[in-house]
């Protein structure tokens, strides 16, 4: 994933036609496509391969199982052309390491989640989850654009690891705030794919990211 516009598209649409329409409109403004369950369940897993021909794909299956099952899930994603995967850390270091090994390090670990409920269980252990991401050899963490001060705090724990940050737009976070706080990339879904002009929305976000640099 080349760090150019610092935007990862969260492609949470539920048809191949919508996916292609949005990706064609925004591909010049985003650095990667994040694929989650809605699109995979709607269109089938080969959408990973198809999208990977256009942009780097991050498979966001929020993998959260025992080490062996984690390994099997990651292998399925990587064999279809994913560049990276996202896992949860609350399952413990052996489960995260299984993902890291199977993805050859290309793993992002979820820390504090961006929605209001993220404060309930994930926020109190987010520092530990960030430390686990680092010790397990992950590529980076997921941290909330809705709470930029938490991005800054988690950055101190992980050092040079990457931060990808959801919560911009529909969830109330601002792109420039997240980047200024230390995010490497923002993750944006509805503010792009639900916009009347997804290309224009992505371009405006790319311009706003530059303000935060």
Binding site for ligand O7E (CB under 6 A): 10, 12, 36, 60, 86, 110, 113-114, 118, 142, 144, 164, 166-167, 169-171, 187-191
The neighbour count for residue 41, using CB atoms within 10 Å, is: 10
Active site positions, annotated: 62
Q: Given the complex with ligand O7E, which of 20 and 123 has the nearer CB atom? A: 123
Contact of 54 with 42, CB cutoff 8 Å: no
21 vs 151: CA distance, rounded Å: 32
DSSP 8-class letter at 173: B
> Minimum CB separation from ligand O7E for residue 53, in Å?
21
> Minimum CB separation from ligand O7E for residue 11, in Å?
8
Q: Given the complex with ligand O7E, which of 7 and 98 has the nearer CB atom? A: 7
- Cα dihedral across residues 111, 114, 118, 124: positive or negative: positive
Contact of 172 with 135, CB cutoff 8 Å: no
Q: Given the complex with ligand O7E, which of 98 and 151 has the nearer CB atom? A: 151
> Minimum CB separation from ligand O7E for residue 146, in Å?
8
Q: Measured at CB, which residue is nearest to ligand O7E?
A: 189
């Amino acid at each position: 994933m080349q760090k150019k516009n610092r935007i990862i598209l969260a492609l949470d649409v539920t048809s191949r036609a919508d996916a292609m329409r949005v990706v064609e409109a925004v591909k010049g403004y985003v650095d990667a496509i994040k694929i989650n369950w809605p699109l995979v369940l709607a269109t089938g897993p080969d959408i990973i391969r198809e999208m990977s021909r256009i942009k780097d794909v991050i498979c966001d299956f929020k993998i959260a199982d025992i080490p062996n099952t984690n390994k099997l899930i990651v292998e399925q994603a990587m064999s279809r052309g994913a560049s990276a995967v996202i896992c949860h850390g609350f399952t413990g270091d052996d489960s995260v390491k299984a993902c890291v090994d199977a993805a050859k390090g290309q793993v992002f670990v979820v820390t504090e989640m961006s929605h209001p409920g993220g404060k309930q269980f994930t926020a109190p252990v987010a520092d530990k989850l960030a430390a686990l991401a680092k010790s397990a050899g992950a590529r980076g963490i997921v941290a909330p654009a809705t709470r930029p001060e938490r991005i800054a705090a988690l950055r101190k724990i992980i050092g040079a690891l990457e931060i990808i940050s959801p919560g911009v737009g529909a969830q109330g976070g601002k792109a420039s705030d997240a980047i200024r706080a230390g995010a490497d990339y923002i993750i944006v879904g509805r503010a792009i794919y639900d916009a009347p002009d997804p290309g224009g929305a992505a371009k405006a976000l790319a311009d706003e990211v530059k303000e935060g640099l």
